[in-house]
Chains A and B, each alone.
Chain A
Amino acid sequence: EPEVTQTPSHQVTQMGQEVILRCVPISNHLYFYWYRQILGQKVEFLVSFYNNEISEKSEIFDDQFSVERPDGSNFTLKIRSTKLEDSAMYFCASSRLAGGETQYFGPGTRLLVL
């Protein structure tokens, strides 16, 4: 069964460093999402992406964040200058269409900023 994959599974970085989290969505899916979960808190929407542009972004998704689909398979989340409060589990998701299609999630990347 097709699945969303994410790399790395864990990442430790120093405050102020740039990180890139990678996702490979399901191959025939057209809509891509990033969510995050700070330990003990809710899973929060960050951004949705379709047709090579952002469809919607949350207040969390400020100028330090960016997303890209650099090729036909990868979908990346870049955090330009990490802060301690960026420590969280980051989930990628994809769906075939909008309009009621299920979002399929990856296993997540646990980011720790020191």
Chain B
Amino acid sequence: GDSVTQMEGPVTLSEEAFLTINCTYTATGYPSLFWYVQYPGEGLQLLLKATKADDKGSNKGFEATYRKETTSFHLEKGSVQVSDSAVYFCALRTRNQGGSEKLVFGKGTKLTVNP
């Protein structure tokens, strides 16, 4: 079945460091890909998405490019801030024959950014 694998955390960085969180997927067809973020005490928020190969999703300085050839959707940010400390989830959206959709998530990567 469809699945998402993302790098194990936790990740600890200093402010202004470069961030990469790796995400790869296994899926039939060409799913849409997402990064969700969960700040402490809050729900899952959509960070960015890409719906087809070579699309780049971006938001709040974060970027991820849909790479069909490597089945990857790595999250990057050039300069992290303390306020980026959160848990990041990579996900893909699948659709069954009846048209019903669901998200398949990775395990999440906890990022801590120190001042």
Contact = CB atoms under 8 A, between A and B. Distances in A.
B100 to A, nearest CB: 4
Interface string A96-107: 001110111111
A112 interface: no
Contacts of A104: 46
Secondary structure at the B interface, as helix, strand, loop or mixed, is strand
A90 B31 CA distance: 24
Interface string B51-70: 10000000000000000000
A107 B41 contact: yes
Interface residues of A, number: 30
A108 interface: yes
A94 B58 CA distance: 22
Given A42-B106, A100-B51, A4 B100 contact: no
Interface string A31-44: 10101000011111
Interface size range on B against A: 20 to 34
Interface of B: 32, 36, 41-46, 49, 51, 89, 91, 95-96, 98-108
20 contacts: A33-B102, A35-B105, A41-B107, A43-B103, A43-B108, A45-B102, A56-B100, A56-B102, A93-B44, A99-B99, A99-B101, A100-B32, A100-B51, A102-B46, A103-B46, A103-B103, A105-B36, A107-B41, A107-B42, A107-B43
Interface of A: 3-4, 6, 31, 33, 35, 40-45, 48, 50, 55-56, 58, 91, 93, 95, 98-100, 102-108
Can you list the 8 inter-chain pairs with the closest CB atoms, starting with the nearest? A105-B44, A43-B105, A55-B100, A56-B100, A107-B43, A45-B102, A105-B43, A42-B107
